[in-house]
Chains A and B, each alone.
Chain A
Amino acid sequence: MMITRRGCLGSAVAMAALIAAGPAFAEGAPFKMGLLVPGSISEEGWNRIGFNALKGVEKELGAEVSYVELQQNPASFEKAFRDFASQGYNVILGHGFEFQDAALEVAPEYPDTVFLISSSYISEGNVIGLNTDTSQPFYLMGVIAAKTGRKAGLVGGMEIPPIKEAFEGFTNGVRSVAPDFPVSEVYIGNFTDATATKEASLSLISQGADFVLPNASGATVGGFQAAAESGADVKTFSIFSDYTSVAPKNILGLYVADYARGVIRIVGDIKNGKKPATNVEFGLKDADVMKFTYNDQAANPVTEDVRKYVDEVKGKIAAGEIKTRQK
């Protein structure tokens, strides 16, 4: 019954070859990587970062890649992992902590597949967490904010670990310079409503914040628009992608996360038979992954003194001498 069903499909569906191949996928077969993202890859933000990593692996390691968007639907996670694993994918990246449970469930059945989980600290068998410690660059932004401004405002999408950690780092950075420096946080409650990010930022600015930092995936851009419309005195920092064109006068610098670099490195190792022994944490020590640069076109560019101080702090963070957040 099963065999005829498969035979049937074989003539009709191109993918049948993949199904029939099953787990016995070894030498000669192309190296394959799958990606699960919780939302849409079409917007600048979290999901795009995962997608770029996938594309990087395709380009640099010559892997066959595919992805699936799961619309924040936990019920689909397990099936998606299984769909990829049963088609002989060697590496599957679940882009977000929420994929951890499902990966742990599926992984024992597919010991030859490596399950990578973004923003997770897991390390159990073939399930490996990858975390970009965003609290580190945000710590630096906090230092800059406290050195150059009067009050800081943070606008988050939802209260999830990558965003909470970033904001914790920022606040700690601020405190390290000026313990009484005011920092406000606002959450808009989603990752799509760019207008809400904009209004929340404007509201913070009207309450005296002169350093606003949006962090809401696809909706982030609204924060930079708010800064641009509020005059050159309002400062901000471009995060994850380059938003300089939106607010060229306000953006003091860029923190660009090249997560792809990190993922390519790890997946390259896996391809060569070296599975990471434990979970991986990218930080300022990984200069290829975290790029922290300044924008000299800003109306009030960061002064040399401050840059020097920031570089010092950066060195200490990379060396592990400063803890940017509680672990």
Chain B
Amino acid sequence: MEDVASLSFLAATIAASWRLAAPLIFASIGEVFSERAGVLNIGLEGVMLAGAFAGFAAAFTSGSILLGVAAAITAGVLVGLLFAFFTITIKADQIVVGAAINLLGLGLTAFLFRAYFSSAGKGIEIAKPVDLPWLSDLPFFGEAFFRQNAFVYSTLPVAALAVFVLYRTSFGLTLRAVGEHPKAVDVSGRSVALYRYGAVLICSALAALGGAFLTLAHSNQFVEGISSGRGFIALAVVVFARWSPIGAFIVSLLFGVFYALQLQLQAQPVLFLPYQLFQALPYVMTIAALILVRNRVDTPSMLGVAYKKS
């Protein structure tokens, strides 16, 4: 009996970890694209909020989650265009613009939410878990992996697609070159700016999707500041993952594990430890992990540097 209980406990932890990791996976894979092209987008938090709000607003008014997703991606692309215009076309400092995007994202979503939805009270019908035939009924594995909603499942194809695009297509090759040797790309007749625009738009669309996950597939409501710092965590994930999409997936998952674990450990009254100790666990572990892996220097060499044609 005890064994079964602890096995199902483990399965529940795995399932929770994946769910908690999902928004981070979307946002950090997006950031991988952007940073690989040499654009540091610290405005992820603002983009996620835009996605969370737009997704909620559209789903609330239309009743369709798909429309919510479309709206979130649109909002992400719009914010991405703003960011790209300032950082790529105008060549403004990326961190400055990113900070502004964060402020705008938090402020605008909260303002609009109050203006149009705050008295609505009710939430939306969120994405339902999708049972996969046969797989979902597996003992242990079913509960751990195969009772998630479509958003959570989609993190797998998104990660795979990201790997394919970045490493197996000429677009990806050029995109990475833009982050390392923009001059070479320029000389070969391709537009550095265009590729950077592409990377930033992919980044913000994915980050917005990560935000939309929060309102469309996890909680059913928009709350001001609902991203609760996930955009910043995603930035950390990217560095920790050494700018690899698979790495971003795994590190996000790791973060999810620590977070799920801290929630479960807190609930064990026998431990008699202050609950704050567990709350700090994900953050302490991230630092510990950074020390253990001893980051090699494989930062894209042109990260954060605007490209000026000479």
Contacts and interface: CB of A to CB of B under 8 A. Distances in A.
Interface of A: 40-44, 153, 159, 182-190, 192-196, 198-200, 202-204, 206-209, 218-219, 221-222, 225, 229, 245-246
Contacts of B121: 44
Q: With a 10 A CB-CB cut-off, give which of A206, A218, A225 has the most chain B CB atoms.
A: A206
Interface residues of B, number: 38
Given A195-B20, A203-B264, A222-B219, 20 more contacts: A40-B110, A42-B110, A44-B121, A186-B263, A187-B266, A192-B228, A194-B219, A195-B214, A195-B218, A196-B263, A199-B19, A200-B267, A203-B13, A203-B16, A203-B267, A206-B12, A206-B264, A209-B267, A221-B221, A225-B126
Nearest to A229: B129
Interface string B241-280: 0000000000000000001100110111100000110010
B225 to A, nearest CB: 5
Interface of B: 5, 8-9, 12-13, 16, 19-20, 110, 113-114, 118, 121-123, 126, 129, 214, 218-221, 223-226, 228, 259-260, 263-264, 266-269, 275-276, 279
Contacts of A183: 269
A121 B84 CA distance: 54
**Could you tell me the dominant secondary structure of chain B's interface residues?**
helix
Q: With a 10 A CB-CB cut-off, give which of A194, A198, A204, A209 has the most chain B CB atoms.
A: A194
Nearest to B259: A199
Contacts of B267: 153, 184-186, 200, 203-204, 207, 209
Contacts of A190: 228
A202 B12 contact: yes
Given A190-B228, A206-B9, A222-B219, A42 B114 contact: yes
Contacts of B268: 184
21 contacts: A42-B118, A43-B223, A183-B269, A185-B266, A185-B275, A186-B266, A187-B266, A192-B224, A193-B228, A195-B219, A199-B16, A199-B19, A199-B259, A200-B263, A200-B267, A203-B263, A206-B9, A219-B223, A225-B219, A229-B129, A245-B122
A215 B267 CA distance: 15
